[in-house]
Amino acid sequence: MKRLKVAEKMRNLMAGYYMLGHQAKVRAWVTSGAPVEILYAMDVYPVYPENHGALIGAAKLGSYYSDFSEKRGFSRDLCSYARCDIGCVFAGTSPVGGLPKPSFLFACNNICNTVVKWYEILSRIFKVPLFVLDVPFVRKELKESHLRYVEDQLIDFIKFVEKLIGMQMDDSKLREVAMKSIEAVKLYGECLRMSKNRPSPMTCFDAFINMAPIVCLRGTDYAVSFYKEMKEELEDRVKNRIYAVENEKFRLLWDNIPVWYRLRWLSDFFASRNACLVADTYTNAWTGFGELRSSDLISSLAEVYTVSYLNIGLERMVEIINGLIEFYEVDGVVMHSNRSCKPYSFGQYEIQKKLSVPSVIIEADMVDERAFSEAQVATRLEAFLEML
Amino acid sequence: MISAGIDIGSLTAKCVLLSDSKILAYKVTRVKPKIEETAREVFEETLKIANVRREEVLSVFSTGYGRSRVEFADKAITEITCHAVGASFLIPSVRTVIDIGGQDSKVISVENGRVVEFVMNDKCSAGTGRFLEVMANALHLKLEELGSIAMKAEKKITISSTCTVFAESEVISYLSSGEKIEEIVAGICDAIASRIVAMATRVGVREDVVLTGGVAKNLGVKKAIEEKLGIPVKVPEEPQIVGALGAAVLASRKKNI
């Protein structure tokens, strides 16, 4: 695997991010799809248990930390991010020495409803307040009433934080953070779209490895300068004809959260068969957060975070995937049926029927390596490539 | 030219020698823990049956679960592609291949000998040959006997569980409550068939349907699948070697791959 040079920078950046967390005065544990802009605007440091879960998976320690939760009665059928993060709390450590304790918790259910129960448990463990941003599921079109419901809660949330920190939010600061968020997402989207080149300068594995800043540092200068650099490196690759997969023959799209503990294996598997996973639905989900309007900030925050990828109907998801298939000119779709992530995996068999290119489903889990059977996955993927 | 196909499954190893579109010889053996050795032995034994020297075989393709461990093979191809090719070779009108092997089962949609779509069982042994093996054990019967015993049944007992382990204890409790063995066996065949048919429906069943793999020899399972699909199912004379045959066919057209 030809890693991007920026991956090293990303590692340092994220090490710094985790370290800063311990020094921060006010910390919130937040879900990946929560409007982090409000937190950054109020100098609240956001901690991302999901990113931490991915890190545990990549370190191949999923089953180890999950055990701490399972021994206390948490079912193995629960999300492995939740199991591992809660497991680390019980273990009192983690690959990064444990996450810094929260001052409060902020869960937005636009990605799943597991986060609600997960954060309620955290709230009981840490004895800190929890704010749940309840977002209605958008089966078809987004209604005015949906927006008003979410907007009201955003205003409540700002008051909730103001009360906790004893300070008022500065509207201009929120605007400033939002502008940075928009810029970072724009650059990030431009990075991903570089894969439109044939052959592609990057794979979705590069996207996965380098996605942490858009998740955790969206709204800061760090994310902006990181993706600027990543974009430059990709442009250089295109100019100098450096391709992610030397003899790119098949162009594929990945669906669902990565199999973190098998990134290298999967990346080598595809590269050795001249197949390039040029894009994925997962990292693309963050490009939607760039539609913020600085003139009407609260309302557009409500909108952007309500129509997130896992909070919309199957038909809309199919439209998005077919859009990606067309844009990136892919020959097939590899769908990871993720034992952990029900909202992401549940509709896959239905979606599969409506895609414009062939697809294959592999069964695994994003973090729990016990759910991965190498021989089974290899046979399905090989047969799929033979078919294409 | 002579080509060979070697299929290393989870339970059995199969080898087929092909010469100008004619099967020269084939052999089925049990898989030993050492896959390389198993592959060499089954290959040598087949050569002996056909009275062919190793040098005369111009191309060897491997397939099956152990395909990448057959070092002397020129190329490894998945069993999905090989079953499609092998079944089309024997029955050119085939559109759907149902393969039930020792530890996995798959349904393949075929068009002109090529795979259009496929589904496989997930991480569960119900719906595979292993399920039948466990049940035969629980009933103190030989695996080969199950089919003919099932055919004697006038009605079937419903095995409610979809899990091999739980189904085994269910079977044992039926035995102890004095149910007829043939009716239990018919129920077992029915349970496996319903798994397979559910999978087949996902791909879409088109005639002709060809049943391959070791389990195809079990008449009880064949009959149960036919009942559920509502159409006849064809079984090649030697359903167990279809994957190896497909590999041999592909090896003979080496240049086309």
Count of CB atoms within 10 A of residue B198's CB?
14
Q: Kindly report the CA angle at A383 between A379 and B1, in degrees rounded to 5?
A: 110
Nearest to A387 among B79, B104, B115 (CB): B115
Look at residue A90 and give its three-state secondary structure: helix
Q: Tokens representing B168? A: 């085994």
pLDDT of B255: 52
User: Distance between CA A226 and CA A283 in Å, rounded?
Assistant: 16
Q: What is the CA radius of gyration of chain A?
A: 20
The full set of domain ranges for chain B reads: 1-91+240-257, 95-235
| Contact check, Cβ <8 Å, A383/B116 | no
DSSP, residue by residue, A188-234: HHHHHHGGGSSS-S--HHHHHHT-HHHHHSTTSHHHHHHHHHHHHHH
Element (H or E) spanning A277, and its range? strand A275-280
Q: How far is CA B56 from CA A59, A281, A382, B20, B25, in A?
A: 50, 51, 30, 13, 14
For A378, the closest chain B residue by CA position comes to: B78
| Contact check, Cβ <8 Å, A383/B80 | yes
Count of CB atoms within 10 A of residue A134's CB?
13
Low-confidence ranges of chain B (pLDDT < 50): 256-257
Same fold, A6-137 and A173-387: yes
Q: How does pLDDT run across A143-199, given as a tens digit for each residue?
A: 999 999 999 999 999 999 999 999 999 999 999 999 999 999 999 999 999 999 999
Count of CB atoms within 10 A of residue A167's CB?
12
Residues of A with CB below 8 A from B80's CB?
Answer: 379, 383, 386-387
| Contact check, Cβ <8 Å, A382/B116 | no
| Contact check, Cβ <8 Å, B78/A386 | yes
User: Distance between CA B130 and CA B111 in Å, rounded?
Assistant: 30
SS3 assignment for chain B: CEEEEEEECCCEEEEEEEECCEEEEEEEEECCCCHHHHHHHHHHHHHHHHCCCHHHEEEEEEECCCHHHCCCCCEECCHHHHHHHHHHHHCCCCCEEEEECCCCEEEEEEECCEEEEEEECCCCCCCCHHHHHHHHHHCCCCCCHHHHHHHCCCCCCCCCCCCHHHHHHHHHHHHHCCCCHHHHHHHHHHHHHHHHHHHHHHHCCCCCEEEECHHHHCHHHHHHHHHHHCCCEECCCCHHHHHHHHHHHHHHCHHHC
Q: Which residue type, as a one-letter code, is found at position A21?
A: G
User: Distance between CA B169 and CA B180 in Å, rounded?
Assistant: 16
The owner of tokens 């497991």 is A87
Q: How does pLDDT run across B15-55, given as a tens digit for each residue?
A: 999 998 999 999 999 999 999 999 999 999 999 999 999 99
Residues contacting residue B201 through CB under 8 Å, at least 6 positions apart: none
CATH classification code of A6-137: 3.40.50
Low-confidence ranges of chain A (pLDDT < 50): none
Residues contacting residue A295 through CB under 8 Å, at least 6 positions apart: none
CB pairs under 8 A between A and B: 35
Tell whether B103 lies on the interface with A, counting CB pairs under 8 A: no
User: Distance between CA B98 and CA B242 in Å, rounded?
Assistant: 11
Count of CB atoms within 10 A of residue A155's CB?
11
Look at residue A274 and give its three-state secondary structure: coil
Nearest to B118 among A363, A375, A383 (CB): A383
Nearest to A383 among B115, B122, B123 (CB): B115
pLDDT of B161: 67
Is the domain A173-387 a CATH 3.40.50.11900 member? yes
Residues of A with CB below 8 A from B117's CB?
Answer: 358, 387
Give the CATH class of B1-91+240-257. Answer: alpha beta
CATH classification code of B95-235: 3.30.420.40
Q: Sort strands B12-19 and B2-8 into parallel, antiparallel or unpaired.
A: antiparallel
| Contact check, Cβ <8 Å, A387/B120 | no
Tell whether B115 lies on the interface with A, counting CB pairs under 8 A: yes
| Contact check, Cβ <8 Å, A383/B78 | yes
- List the single best residue of B7, B120, B128 to mutate versus A (max A Cβ within 10 A): B120
Rounded to 5 degrees, φ, ψ at B117 are -160, 155
* B 177-216 near A (Cβ less than 8 A): 202
- List the single best residue of B117, B130, B202 to mutate versus A (max A Cβ within 10 A): B117
Nearest to A386 among B77, B122, B202 (CB): B77
| Contact check, Cβ <8 Å, B118/A358 | no
